[in-house]
């Protein structure tokens, strides 16, 4: 089964409403229509707890108040080891990257990022899901 | 007898190192917040530009915003390098390749009045570091050298092997004893004023006139070298010149195999590009080193998902995927399936550590697959790849490749 970019169902976890707005416009430009947003890790985990099957990829900011992106990743992995998880980060020091890798992060995207970079990352996820869903 | 001057110098260097560490923490935090804001500024400005009507004034104004945001992003990248908040790739970088690329780039940048001299080591060496950042660091040093010479003089780039013992390492707060490549850039310029020498790695400290320097060139070099587990030596005299020497860890010589070990000329590349996907760092670096020695253009990926990313990024040809079977996230079979969908003609060679091939039992393997059993040596790798590329091995068939050399990799 081939999954195309436009078919992806994305959960954006980000505390800055301007960044959410920007990502939403980029995703919409790619033809993606199923976009969900959460303003922090707790809201994202609550959403995933009830609607996990609605989401193909979590796109999560690293630095957020209360719960970091790394903690969100850890908790997502306890219930779904295969959920593609794209970490969005403004600074990636080697220790943090190692921690995220050992917790099963799928890919990173460094801020500031262009629409093209985001598109490439999401294309990778679409190809990954196509293989997984055979 | 106690050497007070040497102790004083060490204390000063330690103090300076601690100060830079504190500045690094601050700079890293600022850069992080700036990147958040730049994402929004650049993203919306580009989008507005894409949707702008034909008004030349609106379009040029938006283009200015985008250009400024891109420049600002470049500055925050340098700040993040200084504060060691950027990931760095680890590869074996050949000095000969590095010098060739530097010569091409630096000659036009430095201008005709600067004589550029390269002094390579007696035998080619490798350093274990990030090639892009090493290149950037040397360019930054060369530009500083040019500016110190006010446009004319000789700039010498030299590389030598250096064994650093306990005593020598003790003189630098960041140094550990070991085998290094000393990469120096020497100018015949004005020299650095001793009063400011302790501040030259601080961000935004510059002796250049306003508008000529960002004050981030040397901090970038400092952060990069420290993150590469190296250290820097400065030798400067007023009116004579400055030599900045970067000590970077030497790549282990095991990476280099002789031409005979690799089957002479029979198994050399014929202009092909290979993508290696292997999660074991040392094995990936080794395979890359051997394949580059054979003349291949080599791309690398650290796991199956990364392999798809590299494939997605690559606009040109990839002739063969050399992939480990078992990798975290997405295994080699999944990566191969994804890549074959985009590149139906690509040849696939799996590296497997399981002689029983238990890890290759999954169905629907891509066509044209060859298996290279671990441990392998340079000869078997060279031969297997050449045969796979030439189509002289049959699919999913392995054969006992007699190695002439005893050393085997990937155990």
Q: Who's near B301: CB < 8 A, 6+ residues apart?
A: B275, B276, B277, B278, B307, B309, B310, B335
Distance (Å, whole) CA B242 – CA B222: 16
User: What's the whole-number mean pLDDT along residues A57-71?
Assistant: 92
pLDDT tens-digit profile, chain B (411 residues):
445 556 666 666 666 677 777 777 777 777 777 887 888 888 888 888 888 887 888 888 888 898 888 888 888 887 787 776 766 667 778 888 889 888 888 888 888 888 999 999 988 888 888 888 898 899 999 988 998 898 788 999 999 999 999 888 888 887 889 999 999 999 999 888 888 888 888 887 777 666 566 677 888 888 889 888 899 999 999 989 999 999 999 886 544 455 556 666 778 889 999 999 998 887 888 888 889 888 999 999 999 999 999 999 999 999 999 999 888 888 898 899 899 988 999 999 998 765 444 445 444 455 557 888 777 778 888 989 999 998 876 444 443 333 344 455 554
Chain A residue with the nearest C-alpha to that of B66: A114
What does residue B238 show for φ and ψ, rounded to 5 degrees? -60, 130
Query: Which helix (H) or strand (E) segment is A33 a member of?
Result: none
- B312:A124 CB<8 A: yes
The model's pTM is: 0.68
Give me the pLDDT at residue A46, please.
Answer: 93
pLDDT at B58: 85
Residue-level pLDDT at B411: 45
- In this prediction, residue B366 carries a pLDDT of 54
B305 reaches A (C-beta below 8 A): yes
Q: At what angle do helices A17-29 and A115-132 cross, to 10 degrees?
A: 70
Q: Does A54 touch chain B (CB under 8 A)?
A: no
- Residue B25's pLDDT is 73
- B226 and B242 Cβ atoms separated by less than 8 Å: no
A123 touches chain B (CB under 8 A): yes
Report the pLDDT value the prediction gives residue B368, as an integer from 0 to 100: 58
Q: β-strands B369-373, B347-352: how paired? A: parallel
CA B131 – CA B94 distance, rounded (Å): 9
Looking at chain A, the whole-number percentage of residues with pLDDT higher than 70 is 99
Report how far residue A127's alpha carbon sits from residue A134's, in angstroms, rounded to the nearest whole number. Answer: 10
Task: Tell me, yes or no, if B46 comes closer than 8 A to chain A by beta carbon.
Answer: yes
Confidence of residue A59 (pLDDT cuts 50, 70, 90): very high
Helix (H, G, I), strand (E, B) or coil at A90: coil
Mutate to test the interface with A, among B44, B133, B329, B366 (most CBs of A within 10 A): B329
Quote helix, strand, coil % in chain A, to nearest 5.
50, 20, 30
pLDDT tens-place string over residues B375-409 = 777 888 898 999 999 887 644 444 333 334 445 55
pLDDT of residue B13: 66
Q: How far apart are CA B71 and CA B216, in angstroms?
A: 13
ipTM: 0.83
Which chain B residue shows the shortest CA-CA distance from A93? B85
Report CB contact under 8 Å: A94, B84. yes
**Total Cβ atoms within 10 A of residue B352:** 21
* SS3 annotation, chain B: CCCHHHHHHHHHHHHHHHHHHHHHHHHHHHHHHHHHHHHHHHHHHHHHHHHCCCCHHHHHHHHHHHHHHHHHHHHHHHHHHHCCCCCCCCEEEEHHHHHHHHHHHHHHHHCCCEEEEEECCCCCCEEEECHHHHHHHHHHHHHHHHHHCCCCEEEEEEEEEEEECHHHHCCCCCCCCEEEEEEEEECCCCCCCCCCHHHCCCCCCCCCCCCCCCCCHHHHHHHHHHHCCCEEEEEEECCCEEEEEEEEEECCHHHCCCCCCCCCCCCCCCCCEEEEECCCHHHHHHHHHHHHHCCCEEEEECCHHHHHHHHHHCCCCCCEEEEECCCCCCCHHHHHHHHHHHCCCCEEEEEECCCCCHHHCCCCCCCCEEEEECCECHHHHHHHHHHHHHCCCCCCECCCCCCCCCCCECC
Q: How far is CA B34 from the centre of its chain?
A: 25
Q: With an 8 Å Cβ cutoff, are B330 and A128 in contact? A: yes
- Asked whether the beta carbons of B328 and B302 are under 8 A apart, the reply is no
Inter-chain Cβ pairs, chain A and chain B, closer than 8 A? 100
**CA distance linking residue B348 with residue B339, whole number of Å:** 10
Instruction: Say if B301 is an interface residue toward chain A (CB within 8 Å).
Output: no
Q: Residue A128 and residue B313: Cβ atoms within 8 Å?
A: no
Instruction: Note the pLDDT of residue B285.
Output: 83
- Asked if B395 is an interface residue toward chain A (Cβ–Cβ < 8 A), one would say no
Q: Which of B172, B118, B101, B109 is CA-nearest to residue B140?
A: B109
Neighbours of B91 (CB within 10 A): 23
Q: How far is CA B57 from CA B45, B49, B64, B269, in A?
A: 14, 11, 11, 53
CA distance B37 to chain A (A): 8
Q: Do B46 and A115 touch (CB under 8 A)?
A: yes
Q: Do residue A91 and residue B80 have CB atoms under 8 angstroms apart?
A: yes
Higher pLDDT: A74 or A66? It is: A74
| pLDDT tens column, A18-56 | 999 999 999 999 999 999 999 999 999 999 988 877 899
Note if the bond before B308 is cis, omega within 30 degrees: no
């Amino acid at each position: 089964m081939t999954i195309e970019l436009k078919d992806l169902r994305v959960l954006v976890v980000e505390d800055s409403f301007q960044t959410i707005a920007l990502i939403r416009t980029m995703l919409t430009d790619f033809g993606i229509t199923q976009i969900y947003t959460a303003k922090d890790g707790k809201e994202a985990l609550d959403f995933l707890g009830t609607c996990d099957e609605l989401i193909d990829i979590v796109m999560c900011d690293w630095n957020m108040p209360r719960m970091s992106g790394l903690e969100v990743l850890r908790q997502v992995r306890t219930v779904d080891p295969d959920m593609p998880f794209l970490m969005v980060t403004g600074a990636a020091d080697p220790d943090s990257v190692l921690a995220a890798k050992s917790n099963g992060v799928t890919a990173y995207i460094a801020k500031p990022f262009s629409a093209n970079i985001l598109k490439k990352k999401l294309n990778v996820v679409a190809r990954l899901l196509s293989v997984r869903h055979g | 007898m106690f050497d007070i001057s040497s102790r004083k110098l060490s204390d000063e260097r330690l103090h300076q190192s601690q100060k830079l560490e504190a500045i690094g923490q601050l700079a890293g935090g600022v850069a992080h917040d700036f990147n958040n804001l730049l994402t929004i500024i650049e993203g919306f400005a580009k989008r507005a530009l894409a949707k702008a009507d034909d008004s030349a004034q609106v379009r040029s104004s938006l283009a200015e915003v985008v250009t400024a945001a891109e420049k600002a992003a470049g500055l925050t990248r340098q700040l993040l390098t200084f504060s060691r908040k950027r990931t760095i790739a680890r590869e074996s970088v050949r000095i000969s390749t590095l010098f060739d690329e530097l010569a091409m780039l630096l000659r036009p940048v430095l201008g005709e009045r600067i004589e550029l001299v390269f002094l390579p080591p007696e035998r080619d060496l490798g350093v274990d570091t990030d090639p892009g950042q090493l290149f950037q660091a040397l360019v930054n040093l060369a530009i500083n050298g040019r500016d110190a010479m006010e446009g004319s003089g000789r700039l010498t780039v030299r590389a030598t092997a250096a064994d650093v013992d306990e005593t020598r390492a003790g003189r630098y707060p960041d140094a550990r004893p070991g085998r290094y490549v000393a990469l120096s850039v020497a100018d015949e310029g004005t020299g650095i004023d001793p009063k400011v020498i302790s501040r030259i790695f601080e961000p935004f400290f510059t002796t250049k006139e306003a508008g000529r320097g960002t004050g981030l060139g040397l901090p970038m070099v400092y952060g990069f070298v420290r993150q590469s587990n190296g250290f820097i030596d400065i030798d400067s005299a007023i009116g004579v010149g400055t030599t900045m020497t970067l000590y970077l860890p030497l790549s282990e010589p095991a990476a280099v195999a002789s031409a005979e070990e690799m089957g002479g000329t029979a198994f050399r590349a014929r202009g092909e590009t290979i993508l290696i996907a292997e999660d074991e760092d040392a094995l990936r670096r080794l395979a890359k080193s051997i394949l580059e020695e054979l003349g291949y253009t080599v791309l690398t990926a650290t796991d199956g998902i990364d392999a798809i990313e590299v494939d997605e990024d690559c606009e040109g040809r990839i002739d063969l995927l050399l992939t480990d079977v078992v990798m975290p996230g997405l295994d080699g079979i999944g990566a191969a399936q994804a890549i074959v969908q985009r590149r139906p003609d690509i040849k696939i060679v799996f590296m497997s550590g399981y002689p029983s091939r238990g890890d290759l039992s999954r169905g629907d393997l891509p066509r044209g697959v060859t298996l290279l059993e671990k441990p392998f040596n340079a000869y078997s790798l060279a031969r297997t790849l050449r045969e796979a590329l030439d189509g002289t091995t049959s699919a999913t068939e392995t054969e006992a490749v007699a190695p002439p050399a005893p050393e085997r990799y990937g155990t």
